[in-house]
């Protein structure tokens, strides 16, 4: 029995040794994973808008490390880890190094390196302004507030730019970017923002192509919050404006709107947005100089601007007797001093102020008349035709 057991043990040991040796031979014979890196090693003067890609044949990618002038470049693996792609395009005038570690089917690792550089930008573009912002609008805004970006140069590659403008929201919203011209692009939802939504704009513009030889200078992030829902409805026929907050009427104010006669003296009808709030505003007759018939210069208090053509909701003590029964203004919405103070204090920039009853429509390019366009019209000037916001 002992001799038999010893023979069995010897056979088992010999068998294990042989199996291990066979696995080692298989590992030695298995081809190394073929790793491909794009752009190729040593390339110079590359077009920046291309991504970096790494592929593995006959194995998988264990790790990919990309550095651009000392900074790590983010990227994503495919589900089977045979491909890796940078999360964004390359940037101009930058040296890149790529280190890829791959593992073949037998568990053997190989390391592949590559280095290349992009051409310098002939010129760059940058963001001139983003609204909302802390100084001009505050970072808690009304449900109608668009995101408005103004560039410092004309940009023509709208697709590349739009692809790199990401809107994140705490509540899902369908929206779209809209180009007014080559310097102005705005985002608005299909419907008003839900109240109390947190929003983040991520503008990944560094290295993004804006036109021939022109690339974005840097990235931007902007966080803001949508406040309570408040919509004001003014009717130039009934001469009243009601303020509806979260579905309930909280104030109904007598008004006096534009007197008409000449079209410029009508208050524009449509969906306005509160653009500014001021304690004091000096109003001057548009297109009429001192000494000419119809000229005026008036100091008014507690104003909320609703267009670029001089329309405000403001206090007007001189027309209190007309408020609620007739229209006597040059185009503004007159309310009593007490109502004006209340309205200024209780209005957020971006609150919708809807005026009806006038034959003069608000133009979509007059101030922030973004909501004057139907959703179908809005999408006509979007290169990507809209998408839902990303989760925040």
CB 307 within 8 A of CB 360: no
Three-class DSSP category at 369: helix
E strand or H helix at 160: helix 158-163
Query: In whole angstroms, what separates CA 351 from the centre of its chain?
Result: 19
Rounded-to-integer distance, Cα 269 and Cα 272, Å: 8
Catalytic residue among 178, 272, 330, 332: 332
How far, in Å, CA of 144 to CA of 126, rounded? 26
Q: Which two tokens stand for residue 63?
A: 């790790």
Strand order in the sheet with 75-77: 34-38, 53-57, 83-86, 75-77
* C-alpha–C-alpha distance, residues 89 and 87, integer Å: 7
Helix (H, G, I), strand (E, B) or coil at 130: strand
Would you say how long the chain is, in residues?
392
Q: Assess whether 332 carries a catalytic annotation.
A: yes
362 contacts 272 by C-beta, under 8 angstroms = yes
- For residue 12, what is the enclosing H or E element? helix 2-29
**In which region does residue 354 sit, left (phi positive, over 0), alpha (psi from -120 to 50) or beta (all else)?**
beta
Q: Which helix (H) or strand (E) holds 150?
A: strand 147-151
Q: Is 16 a catalytic residue?
A: no
Alpha carbons 302 and 313: distance in angstroms, whole number: 8
Cβ–Cβ under 8 Å, residues 120 and 213: no
Cα pseudo-dihedral 340, 341, 347, 350, rounded to 10:
60
3-class DSSP state for residue 39? coil
Other C-beta atoms lying within 10 Å of the C-beta of residue 206: 18
Q: How far apart are CA 340 and CA 280, in angstroms?
A: 12
Of residues 151, 150, 106, 144, the one with CA closest to residue 125: 151
- Whether 184 and 147 have beta carbons less than 8 Å apart is answered as no
Which one from 178, 314, 330, 370 is the annotated catalytic residue? 314
- Catalytically active residues are 314, 332
């Amino acid at each position: 029995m002992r001799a038999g057991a010893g023979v069995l043990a010897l056979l088992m040991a010999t068998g294990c040794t042989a199996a291990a040796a066979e696995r080692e031979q298989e590992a030695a014979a298995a081809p190394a994973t073929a790793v491909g890196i794009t752009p190729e090693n040593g390339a110079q003067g590359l077009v920046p808008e291309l991504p970096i890609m790494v592929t593995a044949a006959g194995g998988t990618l264990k790790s990919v490390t990309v550095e651009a002038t000392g900074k790590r470049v983010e990227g994503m693996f495919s589900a089977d880890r045979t491909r890796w792609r940078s999360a964004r395009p390359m940037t101009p005038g930058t040296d890149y190094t790529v280190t890829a570690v791959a593992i073949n089917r037998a568990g053997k690792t190989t390391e592949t390196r590559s280095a290349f550089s992009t051409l310098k930008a002939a010129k760059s573009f940058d963001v001139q302004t983003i609204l909302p912002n802390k100084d001009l609008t505050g970072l808690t805004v009304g449900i109608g507030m668009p995101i408005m970006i103004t560039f410092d140069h004309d940009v023509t590659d709208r697709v590349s730019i739009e692809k790199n403008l990401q809107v994140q929201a705490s509540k899902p919203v369908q929206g779209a970017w809209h180009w007014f011209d080559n310097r102005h692009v705005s985002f608005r939802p299909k419907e008003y923002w839900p109240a109390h939504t947190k929003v983040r704009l991520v503008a990944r513009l560094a290295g993004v192509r804006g036109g021939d030889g022109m690339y974005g200078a840097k990235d931007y992030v902007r966080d803001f919050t949508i406040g309570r829902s408040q919509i004001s409805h003014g009717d130039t026929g009934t001469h009243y404006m009601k303020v509806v907050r979260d579905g309930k009427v909280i104030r109904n104010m007598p008004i006096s709107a534009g007197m008409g006669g000449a079209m410029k003296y009508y208050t524009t009808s449509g969906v306005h947005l509160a653009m500014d709030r001021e304690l004091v505003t000096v109003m001057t007759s548009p297109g009429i100089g001192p000494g000419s018939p119809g000229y005026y210069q008036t100091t008014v208090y507690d104003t909320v601007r609703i267009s670029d053509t001089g329309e405000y909701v403001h206090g007007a003590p001189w027309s209190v007797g007309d408020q609620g029964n007739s229209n006597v203004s040059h185009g503004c919405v007159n309310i009593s001093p007490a109502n004006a103070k209340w309205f200024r204090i209780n209005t957020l920039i971006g609150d919708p102020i809807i005026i009806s009853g006038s034959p003069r429509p608000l133009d979509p390019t007059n101030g922030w008349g973004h909501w004057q366009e139907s959703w179908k019209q809005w999408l006509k000037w979007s290169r990507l035709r809209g998408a839902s916001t990303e989760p925040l």
